[in-house]
Amino acid sequence: MIEVHNLNKRYGRHTAVKDISFEVGSGKIVGFLGPNGAGKTTTLRMLTGYLPPTSGSAQIAGYDMFRQSLKARRHIGYMPENVPLYDEMRVKEYIRYRAQLKGLRGKKLRSHVGEAMELCSLHEVRRKMIKTLSKGFRQRVGLADALVHKPDLLILDEPTNGLDPNQIRSIRKLIKRLGESHTVMVSTHILSEVEMTCDHVIIIDEGRIKATGSPSELVSQMRTAGKITVELKADATKASQALSQLANIKKVSLDSTDEGWSTLSILVDAHTDSRERIANLASEQNWPVRTLHRHTATLEEVFVELTRKD
């Protein structure tokens, strides 16, 4: 659905996007991640035809984005970070107007407008002025605009920006539903949403792609230490010293003590699991164990490892 080859964008001496290449297959929900200023929005604007590249190429649904722009855009629905809406129009009036701009007429116009509004749960506000809508409903209007012409590809730039937790959950469910019939590319800062929603992740920083793969693949490639928490009934100092002698243990630190129970955090070598050795040591020392938990790495930790500057 998307093929990007050696894409570059320069503003004078500043290079915002540096020679990036990637592919997105049909029917995928892809998270496009990066810190502020990483080049995410610039890349999305080039993919949607809003910005010309300095060099490189991009194809959407088989059409060259820069030589066959109009044909390529017919396959794209784009929702920018700050959705531009006409506040003095009513919701249904606005969606209908946007559908007409995209070439829809007659029965096709009516059916597409109705389906887009139903999919985005807008019927209860269809007669309301857009200026009276909450942030959540304004985002839904932007989504309905993006998908009213039934594009193959939806590009959503920060679709949950400024929403409360309930609204974020609602938009997440909608994106997953849209992924059943569209290819969806989502740029967002909420990494937990990406883990729950996306099949594939692209991480960009300083204009370059740092990693690409499924969330689980990226987590498995992490190089940082793993973490185990153990809560046992023992002298914290003696337990820490003994645990530090085990293989693959990097560091042991005391989190808290409570009525003789000590909670210890144990950093272990990447891609190792020392729980069995810890349990055996506790058994040998007659230390009762109340908790022994291995923390699973998250996409947020992958993101920090790849993009932190310190």
The predicted-structure confidence for 249-299, as pLDDT tens digits, reads as follows 989 999 988 888 999 999 888 778 899 999 999 999 999 999 999 887 778
Tell me how far CA of residue 82 lies from CA of 56, 78, 166, 255, in angstroms. 27, 11, 20, 43
Give percent above pLDDT 90 in the chain.
60
The last residue of one of the domains, among 219, 244, 272, is: 219
For residues 270 and 211, state if they share a domain: no
CATH number, domain of 211, equals 3.40.50.300
CATH number, domain of 256, equals 3.30.70.1340
CA 258 to centroid of chain Cα atoms: 39
For residues 82 and 107, state if they share a domain: yes
For residues 126 and 91, state if they share a domain: yes
The predicted-structure confidence for 212-222, as pLDDT tens digits, reads as follows 998 888 877 76
- What is the rounded distance in angstroms from the CA atom of residue 19 to the CA atom of residue 192? 28
Q: Which amino acid, residue 192? A: S
What is the reported pLDDT for 223?
65
For residues 136 and 199, state if they share a domain: yes
For residues 28 and 81, state if they share a domain: yes
What is the reported pLDDT for 217?
84
Tell me what the pLDDT averaged over the chain comes to. Answer: 90
146 Cβ neighbours under 8 A, 6+ residues apart = 77, 78, 79, 154, 155, 156
How many domains, the chain? 2
For residues 142 and 76, state if they share a domain: yes
The predicted-structure confidence for 51-93, as pLDDT tens digits, reads as follows 999 999 999 999 999 889 999 999 999 998 888 899 999 999 9
What is the reported pLDDT for 224?
65
